[in-house]
Chains A and B, each alone.
Chain A
Amino acid sequence: MAGIKTLIAGAADYFPGFVRRPAPRFVTESGKRVYGIVAEFGETPAMYHAAEKVRDAGYSRWDVFSPFPVHGMEKAMGIKTTKLPLIAGGAAITGVAFAAFLQWITSDYLYPMVVQGKPYGAWEPFVPIMFELGVLFTAFACLFGMLALNGLPRFHHPLFSHERFYRVSNDRFVIAIEAEDPNFDPDKTRALLEKVGGSHITIIEEED
């Protein structure tokens, strides 16, 4: 069910006129939807260990932002391996099978034709096309699968409404926990972020 809700919420981003977003779990005093809560960190180790504690607290919909890649961050955040290779593999098999079928049905079944005295349905000339279509399908699946899994492209992100957030491209680390997370609770999550050493803890609201 959670997956369907996520899908609906995602579709609502792209087709706001057609798909209604699910009702917000939390709203601010001004009645706006709560996106989540952010906390700032000044140093990499502090952010890293804070991320480990957020992971251990059982949060699943949250993210860490930093000016540079941090090795081992996926372990500290408890991120599982991406599903993208499976998507790519499925696309590769589809591409190879599609190419084999396309060539077999045209050159051997529907309209058999002698080319250069080679036998009907020889598998050798099929191979380069099978390879190429396999690569093509895989490349598309990788690119668009990556974009879809990342929720991209998107025009705006609620975090951009937070002025201090822009410092993550310079000298700050930010942990953001989304309100969609089942464990999210404005007070408890704020307490957790305070405990792990975050500063400038702010609730981010979405602009409708």
Chain B
Amino acid sequence: MSQSPVSQIFANRPAPDATALTDHEWQQRLEKIAADPRMAEDNIRAQGVVGKFGIPLLLIGAVGLLLTVIGAFSYNLRHALAAFEIGVFTALALSLGSIFFLLVFHSLNAGWIITGRRMFENAASIVWLPWLMLLIVFAIEYINHGVLLTWMGGTHGDYLLEKKEPYLNPGFFALRLLAYGAVWIFLGMRFASLSRKCDETGDRLLGRKARFTAGWGILLFALTTAFAAFDFLMSIDFRFFSTMWGVYYFASCALGSVSLVVLMLAVLRSRGKLSGLVTEEHFHDLGKLMFAFTVFWAYISFSQYFLIWYSNIPEETAWFVYRKEYGWGWLFTALIVGHFIVPFLAIIWRSVKRNAFLLSVMAVFIIVMTIADMAWIIRPMVYTPLATTNGDLIDPGLPGIWLDAAGVLGVLGVWGFFLTRAVEKGYLLPTKDPMLHESMKHANYV
């Protein structure tokens, strides 16, 4: 057994997981798990299942991104960038939410999820892709002196902007963006690589290392996610401010990623993979998380809206006026109904949570609603009364929707392709995790 510094720190502590076992007991448990018929090679590898999704996703992504680029040059850069950003922030939410759940699972020693945890790790490990796309967004904004982030073009004597300049300036912005990338990519890659390494070596102390990382990672994750949302989404209207904004984006992260994992597990299950390992008990608990974060999203987004509506301060209400008036009221209503009422009334039923098919239908619906949420945040700022100073910006309405679809599908297609690549690599679950035996017999007694 290799002794790393972390394992020495924890060596003499009583541990609730398998680190308290002797080496001999641990080897016996590994052998027992490996001999389980459910751990047959065919059941825990994705070969021949996920590959079928990869190439179509890549094609959709490539065509979508190509159309977005064409749209940017021939049609309207602002619109194309907004469409691209809707996709990027959805993909980023799915990856960041997975990192969040990994942080929570590791810091709480969550045993029940182990058989489904690899899906979170896969989605977390490709966080570099949306981050690279954020770099592209920043480059486009910087070169064009502000496309959506109009403050990048200079203060132009705006009093508020002059006050906010120490924070809202391209140099500091770039620095922060690099810090976000460093934290996200480190955390995402670390949890995935520790888990994969454990598959090969069976070193049960790797889980302790992940737990140690999760301890300090959770703080950095919270700060970087919140500030990334401030920087890219809130500062689209630099007059607007909301202390709830970071939480608002985080709610989409958590909700989207748990829905994505439900969808992935349901697809794998329907293709005969992970049978007996991911059961209706796991779907039940993942469904509880979906329900919880549906309510959480509704709670914080209503709280944010409610306080702004009541206090009626112009620079705050303007943000909602753009998103409720000027032809966007339908999306506002659609979010209330589709992002809260429908999932709430659907997932509240025990029978829905325990049915992989119904739950995955709700998962797709929620991911679509997450895209709609991002669209509601970003898209109304493309053609606003304030922006008409640029001259040519008249909302094309429905005929312009191809560009939005191209941007969103382009990003999500490419992201989905890398996701399938990650799923195909290695096993579909951590095969030698210290708590795997708990997850294999997981049951809800209520």
Residue ranges of A at the interface with B (Cβ–Cβ < 8 Å): 71-72, 81, 85, 89, 116-117, 124-125, 127-128
A71→B445 contact, CB < 8 A: yes
Q: Which chain B residues in 283-336 approach chain A with CB under 8 Å?
A: 302, 305-306, 309-310, 312
Complex: chain A residue closest to B306, CB-CB: A124
> Could you show 14 A-B contacts with beta carbons less than 8 Å apart?
A71-B445, A72-B445, A81-B350, A89-B348, A116-B310, A116-B312, A117-B312, A124-B306, A124-B309, A124-B310, A125-B310, A127-B302, A127-B306, A128-B306
CA distance A178 to B126 in the complex (A): 61
Contacts of B305 in A (CB 8 A): 124
Contacts of A127 in B (CB 8 A): 302, 306
Residue ranges of B at the interface with A (Cβ–Cβ < 8 Å): 302, 305-306, 309-310, 312, 348, 350, 445
Contacts of B312 in A (CB 8 A): 116-117
Listed from nearest, the 5 A-B pairs whose CB atoms lie closest are A124-B309, A124-B306, A71-B445, A127-B302, A127-B306
Q: How near does chain B come to A108, taking the closest CB pair, in angstroms?
A: 17
CA distance A128 to B303 in the complex (A): 9
Complex: chain B residue closest to A124, CB-CB: B309
Complex: chain B residue closest to A85, CB-CB: B350
Contacts of A116 in B (CB 8 A): 310, 312
Contacts of A89 in B (CB 8 A): 348
Q: How near does chain A come to B321, taking the closest CB pair, in angstroms?
A: 14
Contacts of A128 in B (CB 8 A): 306
Complex: chain A residue closest to B305, CB-CB: A124
Q: How near does chain B come to A163, taking the closest CB pair, in angstroms?
A: 33
Contacts of B306 in A (CB 8 A): 124, 127-128
Q: How near does chain B come to A65, taking the closest CB pair, in angstroms?
A: 18
CA distance A127 to B303 in the complex (A): 10
Complex: chain A residue closest to B445, CB-CB: A71
Q: How near does chain B come to A134, taking the closest CB pair, in angstroms?
A: 12
Contacts of A71 in B (CB 8 A): 445
Contacts of B445 in A (CB 8 A): 71-72
Complex: chain B residue closest to A69, CB-CB: B445
CA distance A116 to B311 in the complex (A): 9
Q: How near does chain B come to A33, taking the closest CB pair, in angstroms?
A: 36
CA distance A71 to B312 in the complex (A): 55
Contacts of A117 in B (CB 8 A): 312
Q: How near does chain B come to A46, taking the closest CB pair, in angstroms?
A: 21
Task: Among B305, B348, B445, find the residue whose CB has the most chain A CB atoms closer than 10 A.
Answer: B445
CA distance A81 to B351 in the complex (A): 12
Q: How near does chain B come to A17, taking the closest CB pair, in angstroms?
A: 40
New A-B pairs, 12, CB < 8 Å, besides A85-B350, A116-B312:
A71-B445, A72-B445, A89-B348, A116-B310, A117-B312, A124-B305, A124-B306, A124-B309, A124-B310, A125-B310, A127-B302, A128-B306
CA distance A116 to B306 in the complex (A): 14
Q: How near does chain A come to B281, taking the closest CB pair, in angstroms?
A: 13
CA distance A81 to B350 in the complex (A): 11
Q: How near does chain A come to B112, taking the closest CB pair, in angstroms?
A: 15
CA distance A89 to B306 in the complex (A): 26
Q: How near does chain B come to A64, taking the closest CB pair, in angstroms?
A: 16
Contacts of A72 in B (CB 8 A): 445
Q: How near does chain B come to A150, taking the closest CB pair, in angstroms?
A: 16
Contacts of A124 in B (CB 8 A): 305-306, 309-310
CA distance A65 to B443 in the complex (A): 23
Q: How near does chain B come to A76, taking the closest CB pair, in angstroms?
A: 13
Q: How near does chain B come to A71, taking the closest CB pair, in angstroms?
A: 6
Q: How near does chain A come to B438, taking the closest CB pair, in angstroms?
A: 14
CA distance A72 to B312 in the complex (A): 55
CA distance A49 to B348 in the complex (A): 34
CA distance A190 to B305 in the complex (A): 67
Contacts of B350 in A (CB 8 A): 81, 85
Complex: chain A residue closest to B349, CB-CB: A85
CA distance A124 to B303 in the complex (A): 10
Q: How near does chain A come to B309, taking the closest CB pair, in angstroms?
A: 5
